[in-house]
Amino acid sequence: YIVVLQYAAGGQLMDRIIRRFGSRRPYTESEVASILRSLLSACAHMHARRIVHGDLKPENLLYIDDTDDTLAVADFGFAQLCTDGDFLSKFRGTLDYMAPELLGPVKRYNARADVWSAGVLLFVLLSGALPFRR
């Protein structure tokens, strides 16, 4: 498979999160809802095609340009096909955004792991911090 991505000159969502919380201007609920709506729409598109991204995090969400709030999902290096009713078992992703089913001795996960990552991102956008400490 080949994935062609649009050039995203606006940088990573993580850069914007750091700037916003660094200047003590947290995101509004409306802004968070807009970001999550974009991400979950992209997840629905991927999952409808049986693609599990496997590494959704702010560093892999890119803005198309500086003046637009359009997000693009990047870094499909861990993406895998997952047929309906099937499960994946390879340990992939970034620990802070990983679903619990990836952390146990038996790794069995599917597209729901991407939804978990979106939930972690929701927490980060609202609080400026990760929900779990290592």
Structure-token pair, residue 76: 């499909």
Q: Are the C-beta atoms of 113 and 102 separated by less than 8 Å?
A: yes
Question: Can you give the pLDDT at residue 105?
Answer: 75
Question: Can you give the pLDDT at residue 91?
Answer: 67
What number is the average pLDDT over the span 9-16? Answer: 95
pTM of the model: 0.88
What number is the average pLDDT over the span 53-82? Answer: 90
Question: Can you give the pLDDT at residue 109?
Answer: 80
Assess whether 55 carries a catalytic annotation: yes
- Closest by Cα among 45, 46, 76 to 60: 76
Asked if the model's pLDDT at residue 73 lies above 90, the reply is yes
What number is the average pLDDT over the span 112-125? Answer: 95
CA distance 62 to 42: 12
Banded model confidence at residue 59, pLDDT cuts 50, 70, 90:
very high
CA distance 107 to 29: 34
Q: What own/partner pairs with CB < 8 Å and gap ≥ 24 does 127-134 have? A: 128/17, 128/20, 128/21, 128/26, 130/96, 132/96, 134/95, 134/96
β-strands 51-52, 11-12 pairing: unpaired
Question: Can you give the pLDDT at residue 18?
Answer: 96
Question: Can you give the pLDDT at residue 115?
Answer: 94
Catalytic residue from among 55, 65, 96, 114: 55
What top-level class would CATH report for the domain 11-127? mainly alpha
